[in-house]
A and B are shown apart, each in its own frame.
Chain A
Amino acid sequence: GAVVSQHPSRVICKSGTSVKIECRSLDFQATTMFWYRQFPKQSLMLMATSNEGSKATYEQGVEKDKFLINHASLTLSTLTVTSAHPEDSSFYICSAQSLGVRVAGDNEQFFGPGTRLTVL
C-alpha cells in the first residue's frame, strides 16, 4: 500500500517548450502533495507544497510562474515547467501525504520514483 507514481519517468525536450509531470497516489487519497527538485549529488530541495483544491505554497526562490502546480484531485498533482531551459534540467520528485495511511495518527510522506527532465 501507499504507492505514489510519477509520469513520465524520463523526458527530453527542446528549450522553450513546456513539460508536464504527473504525480498520482494510487491507493490512498492525499490531502497534501509536495514537489522536490534534486541536483546531482545534492539533497532534495522542497519546491512547493500543494493541498487539494487550493493554491500551492512555494518555497523562497522558486518561481511560481515558471513551475505551475495544480492539485485538482485527492489523487493527482501536476507540475508544469513552463518555457523550459537547460538550467531547469533536473530530477523532480513528488510525495503525497495523508493522515493515518500506514500508521494510525501518523502523517508520513510517500514518495514517487522521480522524473528526470533534460532540456536541450
Chain B
Amino acid sequence: GNSVTQMEGPVTLSEEAFLTINCTYTATGYPSLFWYVQYPGEGLQLLLKATKADDKGSNKGFEATYRKETTSFHLEKGSVQVSDSAVYFCALSFSGGYNKLIFGAGTRLAVHP
C-alpha cells in the first residue's frame, strides 16, 4: 500500500542550526509529495510541494527534493529560527492534486534561542 514514514521527534535544535527531517514514502505509481507545518493552536498549512521526480519545493527557507531513486523527500533548512518551532508532516497524494492525502506521523521541532 501507500505510506509515508518520517523520522521520530522531537527534534531539538539551537537557533541558526541546520535542520533535516527525513521522509520516505512507499507508493504504487508516482505521487505528488508535500510538507505541511502545524504551528501551535493552528491548522496544518502547506509549506512546500513537488509533483515529479527531481523537482525541488521551497518556501520560507525550507527545501525538499523529490528523489525517486531513494523514494525520499527530506526537509531541510540551513538556519532555523525559534519561530520555526512546530510539527512538520510529510504527505503524498495521487492524481496530481491534493485529494486523499496520506500523511506521515509528524515530527515535532523545537528551536531554542
| Chain A interface residues toward B at CB < 8 A | 4, 32, 34, 41-46, 49, 93, 95, 97, 107-114
B→A interface (CB under 8 Å): 4, 36, 38, 41-46, 89, 97-106
Q: How far is the CB of B25 from chain A (nearest CB, A)?
A: 12
Neighbouring B residues of A112 by C-beta, 8 Å: 43
Majority secondary structure of chain B interface residues (helix, strand, loop or mixed) = loop
How many angstroms between the C-alpha atoms of A34 and B102 in the bound complex? 12
29 pairs, CB–CB < 8 Å, chain A vs chain B: A4-B43, A41-B105, A41-B106, A43-B4, A43-B105, A43-B106, A44-B89, A44-B101, A44-B103, A45-B103, A46-B100, A46-B101, A49-B100, A93-B43, A97-B99, A107-B97, A107-B98, A107-B99, A108-B98, A109-B46, A109-B98, A110-B43, A111-B36, A111-B38, A111-B43, A111-B44, A111-B45, A113-B42, A113-B43
Q: Which residues of A contact B36 (CB under 8 A)?
A: 111
**Distance in Å: Cβ of A77 to nearest Cβ of chain B:** 14
A57's nearest neighbour on chain B, judged by CB, is B100
Closest B residue, CB atoms, query A102: B46
| Chain B residues within an 8 Å CB radius of A32 | 99
Cβ contact within 8 Å between B42 and A108: no
Are B105 and A109 in contact (CB-based, < 8 A)?
no
Whether A42 contacts B105 in the complex (CB less than 8 A), given A49-B100, A97-B98, A107-B97, comes out as yes
